[in-house]
Every structure is written in C-alpha cells, then in structure tokens.
C-alpha cells in the first residue's frame, strides 16, 4: 500500500513537471524575447498557447501536496520545516506570475505592460529554480527526518543549485519544443517555427551540458543518488536522452504532436529515474516509505480519493486541452 501511494504521489510530480514545466519555460522565452517590437510575435504565440490552460496545470501541485501531507505526514513536516524558504518563494512566484500574465493582457500603457511582463517572466524562472532546489535538497538527503534542517544550505547546496538550474533549462527546452510545434499548427508560421526550433536546440544543448556537469557534482555531493542513477535508474535516463534528441529531430518534420509527445516523454522519464533512484526513501537517504506512511485506513481512503480524482479530473483536463486546441483551429481558420 505504501508503494502504491508513493507511485500515486510521483505520478503527480511527473504530471506537474511536464504540464507546469512547459508553462514555466514559456515564461523564460518571454523574458528573453527582446524589446516590445522584436518580441511581439513570440510573446503573442506564448499568450495564445498557454492562456487558457496555465492555471489548470497547478492542479497537479495541489494534488502532490495533498497526497504528501495525507499519505506521508512526517515527510511533509520535515520538508516544510526545512525548505520553507524555497517553498515560500515558489508560492510567491506562482502568485506573481499569474498576476503578471493576467494584468499584461488588460493594461493599455506600454510601461505597465513591460512591468507586468517582467513580473511574469522573472517569476517563471524563479519558481522552477526553487522547485529544482527543493528536489535537490530532498534527493541529496539534506532534509532531516525530524525537520528543522538548515534553511539555506539545504537547498543552496551543489546538488540543490544543480537541481534548480536543471529545472530551468529543462522547462525552457520543453516550452521551446511545444511552441515550435504550435507555430506549425493549425496555421503555419515559418519564422516563428524556426525561431523556437533554434531555441529548442540551444536549450537541449544546455540541458546536456548541465547534465554532464551534474555527473561530477552528484558523484561528490550525493554519492548514493549518483550510484542509484547510474545503475537502477540508468535505463530511464537513456530513454530520456533518446526521446529528447528525437523530439529535436522531429521538429524539422513540422509535426505538431510527435515532438511534444517525445519531449514530454523525455521529461517524464528523467523524473521517474529520480524516483526509482531514491526508492525506498522519501528523503533521499533516509526515512523509508514504510516509516513515514499514515495508517492503513488513511491510505485506503487516499487511494479511493486518487481513483475518484482520476475519473473526474483527468477527463476534465483532457477536455480543456481538446477545447483549447479546437479554439486555436477556429480562430486561425
């Protein structure tokens, strides 16, 4: 039962990394698009692509928090009492990001549009960096089981910074692939397709460089994680690298769905590799799932709630994405 709840939790982590990651990465490209005139076309595509769905993606974050505090209360307490700074910054970033994105559309003055745009874009980089730092702190075992760990050095460690930087570049890669595909369908825009395809390639190279540097960092700073990733999680990492390269290759074919599916698979498998490498511990090197789990009666209720959510929420999100795609087709016709 504890393994089942752990799997349910990690499904939410993967879903948020894929769907939320694409949104955060879009903010990165918004930040680097340039001035108002030069960046108007990329920003317009970003607004059209993420506008109807950006809030829905945070459903997965709420899902993960609920499963964690209900299914594994000691782990939730340990994480929140140690990593409250990056958690608070991430929450602030989500709020400011949403506010900036919403107000940029309704403000009329250029100065106000620039201010709200900067808030949206900077928050889109800050938030995934904090989430990556949290993941690095947990994976490297810097969160004590009793909580109350070092509030700064726990996530600003070498592995934490690696996780933050990797989260930012992975989000940028994922968003560039999605946006490059969006520029080809339903109404092809060759200039925007080439614009984001080049950025997808640059982000893919950046991901490779960060991962290469991460090999040496993990070997020194998180030896257990390094060993488990190079043995138990190696197959998933290989699949991730192959899918990521395939996504970049298929962008040339101008097929909207295949590159997005491959890029999503690349992100999902690397997150899954982290989960496999960390198992059976919740806090990287300590606190096994069995010790942190809630009573069986609670776990059974949580399973029932998760199944209900799968039946109700998953189709609703799927319908939202289908309607969003249909709206794009209609508006471009």
Encode pLDDT of 135-193 as tens digits: 999 999 999 999 999 999 999 999 999 999 999 999 999 999 989 888 876 666 788 98
- Inter-CA distances, 65 with 115, 182, 256, Å: 31, 31, 32
Do the Cβ atoms of 12 and 64 come closer than 8 Å? yes
Residue 332, CB-side half-sphere exposure with 13 Å CA sphere = 17
Q: 123 pLDDT band (50/70/90 cuts)?
A: very high
Do the Cβ atoms of 141 and 286 come closer than 8 Å? yes
Task: Report how far residue 36's alpha carbon sits from residue 169's, in angstroms, rounded to the nearest whole number.
Answer: 24
Task: Report how far residue 43's alpha carbon sits from residue 31's, in angstroms, rounded to the nearest whole number.
Answer: 9
- Inter-CA distances, 91 with 18, 61, 131, Å: 18, 11, 10
Q: Pick 328 or 266 by higher pLDDT.
A: 266
Task: Report how far residue 28's alpha carbon sits from residue 33's, in angstroms, rounded to the nearest whole number.
Answer: 9
Which pLDDT score, from 0 to 100, does residue 186 have?
60
**Does 108 score more than 70 pLDDT?**
no
Token reading at 148: 């109350």
Among candidates 86, 68, 64, which has minimal Cα distance to 77? Answer: 68
Among candidates 19, 47, 48, which has minimal Cα distance to 185? Answer: 48
Q: 333 pLDDT band (50/70/90 cuts)?
A: very low
Question: CB under 8 Å to 118, separation ≥6 — which residues?
Answer: 31, 100
Which pLDDT score, from 0 to 100, does residue 209 have?
94
Tally of CB atoms within 10 A around 210: 17
Question: 3-state DSSP call for residue 288?
Answer: strand
**Does 41 score more than 60 pLDDT?**
yes
For the chain, the average pLDDT equals 88
Token reading at 310: 């799968």
Which pLDDT score, from 0 to 100, does residue 187 have?
63
Among candidates 43, 49, 44, 40, which has minimal Cα distance to 22? Answer: 49
Helix (H) / strand (E) element for 58: namely none
Give me the long-range contacts of 116-120 (CB less than 8 A, separation at least 24). Answer: 117/30, 117/43, 118/31, 120/27, 120/30, 120/96
Which ranges of the chain does DSSP label H, i.e. alpha helix?
2-15, 21-31, 40-50, 59-71, 73-82, 84-106, 110-139, 158-182, 190-221, 223-230, 234-250, 257-278, 289-292, 296-332
Task: Report how far residue 141's alpha carbon sits from residue 154's, in angstroms, rounded to the nearest whole number.
Answer: 9
Q: Pick 103 or 200 by higher pLDDT.
A: 200
């Amino acid at each position: 039962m504890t393994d089942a709840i752990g799997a349910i939790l990690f499904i939410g982590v993967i879903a948020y990394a894929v769907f939320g990651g694409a949104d955060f990465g879009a903010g990165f490209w918004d930040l680097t698009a340039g001035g108002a005139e030069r960046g108007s076309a990329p920003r317009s595509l970003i607004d059209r692509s993420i506008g109807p769905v950006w809030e829905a993606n945070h459903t997965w974050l709420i899902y993960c928090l609920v499963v964690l505090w209900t299914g594994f209360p000691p782990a939730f307490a340990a994480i929140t009492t140690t990593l409250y700074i990056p958690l608070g910054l991430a929450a602030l970033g989500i709020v400011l990001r949403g506010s900036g994105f919403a107000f940029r559309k309704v403000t009329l003055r250029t100065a106000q549009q620039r201010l709200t745009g900067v808030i949206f874009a900077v928050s889109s980089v800050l938030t995934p960096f904090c989430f990556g730092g949290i993941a690095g702190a947990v994976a490297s075992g810097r969160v004590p089981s009793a909580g109350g760990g070092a509030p700064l050095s726990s996530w600003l460690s070498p592995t934490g910074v690696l996780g933050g930087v990797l989260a930012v570049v992975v989000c940028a890669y994922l968003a560039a692939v999605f946006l490059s595909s969006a520029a080809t369908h339903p109404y092809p825009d060759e200039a925007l397709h080439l614009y984001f395809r080049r950025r997808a390639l640059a982000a893919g190279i950046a991901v490779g460089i960060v991962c290469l540097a991460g090999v040496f960092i993990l070997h020194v700073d998180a030896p257990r994680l390094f060993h488990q990733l190079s043995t138990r999680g190696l197959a998933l990492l290989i699949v991730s690298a192959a899918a990521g390269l395939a996504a970049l290759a298929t962008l040339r074919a101008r097929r909207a769905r295949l590159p997005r599916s491959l890029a999503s698979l690349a992100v999902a498998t690397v997150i899954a590799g982290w989960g496999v490498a960390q198992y059976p511990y919740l806090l990287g090197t300590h606190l096994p799932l069995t010790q942190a789990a809630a009573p069986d009666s609670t776990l059974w209720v949580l399973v029932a709630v998760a199944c209900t959510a799968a039946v109700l929420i998953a189709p609703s999100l799927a319908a939202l994405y289908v309607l969003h795609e249909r709206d794009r087709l209609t508006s471009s016709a």
